[in-house]
Chain A
Amino acid sequence: MQPCTMWNLCAAGKTESCELPGSEKVYLLKQDCTFFTRKEILRLHARFYELAPNMVPMDYTNDPEVRLPLQLIINMPELVENPFKERIVQAFSEDGEGNLSFNDFVDMFSVMSEMAPRELKAIYAFKIYDFNTDNFICKSDLEQTLNKLTREELEAEEVTLVCEKVIEEADMDGDGKLAFADFENMISKAPDFLSTFHIRI
Chain B
Amino acid sequence: MRKVLQKWKLTTKNVSLRDYPVPLHEKRRLREEELELIRNSNTKFWGPWSTCGECLCVRSTLDRLHQVARAFKLWERALIAISGRFGSGISSYFSFLRFLLLLNLVSSVFIFGMLVVPTLFFTKDDVHQAPPGSDDPCISPSNNTESEGIFIDLFTGQGFLRDSILFYGHYFKGTTDGSSFNIRLVYLLVPLVYLLLCGLYLMRRTAQGIATRRVRSRDYKTRISTKVFSSWDFCAQGVGMSLLKQQSLSNEIKSHLAEELWLLNLEGLSLGRRVHIIFSRVLINSVILALLGCAFYSVHLAAVVSQDYQGITPILALFTQYLVPIVISLVLILLPPIFMLLVKLEGHSPSAELTLTLIRCVFLRLGTLGIFFFSLGQKILCYGSEETSCNVCGHNTQFKCWETSVGQEFYKLSVFHFLHLTMDFLLLQAPRSFLVSRVKWRVVVWLGKEKFSLPQNVLDTVYGQTLVWGGLFYAPLLPLLNIVFIFLTFHIKKFSLYRLCDASQKLVRVSTSRILFYFVLLLGLMTTFFPLIYMVTSVRPSRACGLFTDYSTTWEYVQNSTRSAMAIKDLSYVTSDLFPFCLLGIFSIMLTSYISRVRQYEHIIEELKDHLTYQIQDKIFLVRTLKEADDAPGQEMDHQEHQSDTP
Contact = CB atoms under 8 A, between A and B. Distances in A.
A13 B233 contact: no
Given A195-B510, A198-B235, A172 B19 contact: no
A196 B233 contact: yes
Interface string B170-213: 00000000000000000000000000000000000000000011
Contacts of A198: 234-235
Nearest to B80: A200
Contacts of A90: none
Interface in A175-201: 175, 186-193, 195-200
Contacts, number: 184
B228 A166 contact: yes
B23 A120 contact: no
Contact of B28 (A7, A15, A30): A30
A81 B236 contact: yes
A75 to B, nearest CB: 13
A81 B215 CA distance: 33
Given A120-B19, A195-B510, A196-B232, A170 B225 contact: yes
Nearest to A9: B56
Contacts of B16: 32
B509 interface: yes
B17 interface: yes
Interface in A26-42: 29-35, 37
A142 interface: yes
B488 interface: no
A146 B617 contact: no
Q: Is the interface of B mostly helix, strand, loop or mixed?
A: helix
A81 B241 contact: yes
Interface string A120-132: 1001110001000
| A6, A161, A195 pick with most chain B CB within 10 angstroms | A195
B225 A37 contact: no
A10 B18 contact: no
Contacts of B27: 33
Interface in B14-37: 16-19, 21, 23-25, 27-28, 31, 35
A74 interface: no
Contact of A191 (B17, B24, B511): B511
Given A33-B28, A198-B234, A165 B224 contact: yes
Interface of A: 6-7, 10-13, 15, 29-35, 37, 77-78, 81-84, 94, 103-104, 106-107, 110, 112, 116-117, 119-120, 123-125, 129, 142, 145-146, 149-151, 153-154, 158, 161-162, 165-166, 169-170, 172-175, 186-193, 195-200
Q: 9 smallest A-B Cβ distances: which pairs?
A: A150-B250, A103-B24, A13-B39, A10-B57, A153-B250, A33-B27, A191-B511, A81-B242, A173-B616
